[in-house]
Amino acid sequence: MSSELIRYKDICVDFHGSCLFSNFNLTVNKGDKLILKGRSGSGKSTLLKILLGILHVDDGEVFYRGRKISPSNIWDIRKEIAYVSQDTDIGEGIVKDLINEIFSFDHNQGRKYHRKRNSLLEYFGLDRSIVYKKFEDLSGGEKQRICIIISVLLGKEIFLLDEVTSALDLELKEKVVDFFLENENWTLLVVSHDNTWDRVAMDEVFVDGCEINA
């Protein structure tokens, strides 16, 4: 049985009249851990958003588990993928209430997460009392870690990580990197300028303009 999860086939994207991608090809198999490299504005984050149906291609096709991504199946695809962005604006209010709201959604109900939540808080250097604070009052680094914890609690195995360590100190960056790499079954597509990711054995995909093939 094929282990292919994601395939970008001959992707072309124009952005404000300029070519961002032309004939971009990339295959991601189960368990792959890929870091997307390239200059700022080269389209690394765009590739993640295309997979989620947030942005669309001008030409080419994107496949998930062998099925072409379309409006009719994009919501089912999103249920299987955890997307963590450097934009941590996930809402306002008490952290505990935000988490409970996420797990009240139909496709998340039934997950037992409270015990695991506490162990993840400890691992990522957060006191348990943080769940009683307002999310909007947290520091940038605290917000990033809460978003990471939520993504893990959702129990998914495909992670799109977009600059998720940008607000963390070196020790915490290393904990995040180690955490995501230790699970062989997880599939990672990472966008990051942090050289902490460079210290580990990850396959690199260079994204830098048109006519890119990987």
Mean pLDDT of 196-202: 78
Which domain, by its residues, includes 193?
A: 1-80+157-214
Both 144 and 211 in one domain: the answer is: no
Number of domains in the chain: 2
Q: How far apart are the first and last CA of the chain?
A: 22
Its sign, for the CA torsion 78, 79, 85, 87, is: positive
In whole angstroms, give the CA distance from residue 50 to residue 12. 11
Q: What's the CATH number where 204 sits?
A: 3.40.50.300
What pLDDT digit, counting tens, does each position of 113-168 carry?
A: 777 899 999 999 999 999 999 999 999 999 999 999 999 999 999 999 999 999 99
85 assigned to some structural domain: no
Last residue of a domain, one of 110, 137, 156: 156
* Rounded Cα distance, 103 and 154, in Å: 8
For residue 151, how many other CB atoms are within 10 A of its CB?
A: 19
What's the confidence (pLDDT) of residue 201?
66
What does the pLDDT read at residue 2?
Answer: 63
